[in-house]
Amino acid sequence: MPASQSRSRARDRNNVLNRAEFLSLNQPLKGAQETRSSSRKTTGPSVQAPPPNEGSKERRQSQQLPEEDCMQLNPSFKGIAFNSLLAIDICMSKRLGVCANRAASWGSARSMVKLIGITGHGIPWIGGTIICLVKSSTLAGQEVLMNLLLALLLDIMTVAGVQKLIKRRGPYDMSPGLLDYLTMDIYAFPAGHASRAAMISKFFLNHLVLAVPLRILLVLWAFCVGLSRVMIGRHHITDVVSGFVIGYFQFKLVELVWMSSNTCQMLISIW
């Protein structure tokens, strides 16, 4: 027996397939084992093969991802500048929102600041203009008041349209009031109070004879109305600045389509 064992060992040593570089030839293929094991599993009654359409659907969905879900690894310079300015605007607006709620640093002055903002609301100005138009007895006064009413209506429609298009929220989560819903001043951009204050102040400076102190107070009033909207957390700084710009262009538009005295008298008679 020992002689036979020694002979078999010698044969194994002399066999070329037992070398290290040829060991893989003696082992069975993994693919064959996997196919055998998979074929055994699929023969069972409980396992069902997935339909071939699911893989293609998942690939199509992954290829049709929206651009918002994709990572922008190489943003443009304009995008970086815009996002930086937007971040600065939000940060500065939140810092100036000192009357955003009762717990803020100037929370005790919130009612007074809101009252300043109400002076630039559209409902009091439209109602007051109509009352003055009814009680006015001069043609010149009726002409000015009729064009002012046109400017106020134009302001409400313009601001409501732009806000509905942009749909920007304010720096703080605040629900609009009843008067805001009546004038469709729901969103933040642009600030309707600021556009109205700028348009009215410019209108009065051009069509009313005022002393220098009153002219300065009128400009300060428009500025305070816009600032109050930022202080109570209703608008961003850019919303107010955009409102001032829109109000100025609204005044220019009203000047271009200025209604004459005869046209105003015809509208008043119809009304």
193 is catalytic: yes
Find the catalytic residue in 121, 207, 235, 236. Answer: 235
Q: d(Cα 222, Cα 214) in Å, to the nearest integer?
A: 12
Q: d(Cα 158, Cα 148) in Å, to the nearest integer?
A: 15
Measured between its terminal Cα atoms, the distance across the chain in Å is: 129
How many other CB atoms sit within 10 Å of the CB of residue 45?
5
Residue 232 near residue 95, CB atoms below 8 Å:
no
Q: d(Cα 126, Cα 152) in Å, to the nearest integer?
A: 7
207 is catalytic: no
Q: d(Cα 231, Cα 93) in Å, to the nearest integer?
A: 8
- What are the backbone angles phi and psi of residue 104, rounded to the nearest 5°? -75, 175
10 Å CB burial of residue 201 (0-12, 13-18, 19+) is buried
Q: Which amino acid is at 245?
A: V
Q: Which amino acid is at 218?
A: L
Find the catalytic residue in 121, 193, 207, 236. Answer: 193
Q: Which residue has the tokens 């729901």?
A: 186
Q: Which residues are catalytic?
A: 193, 235
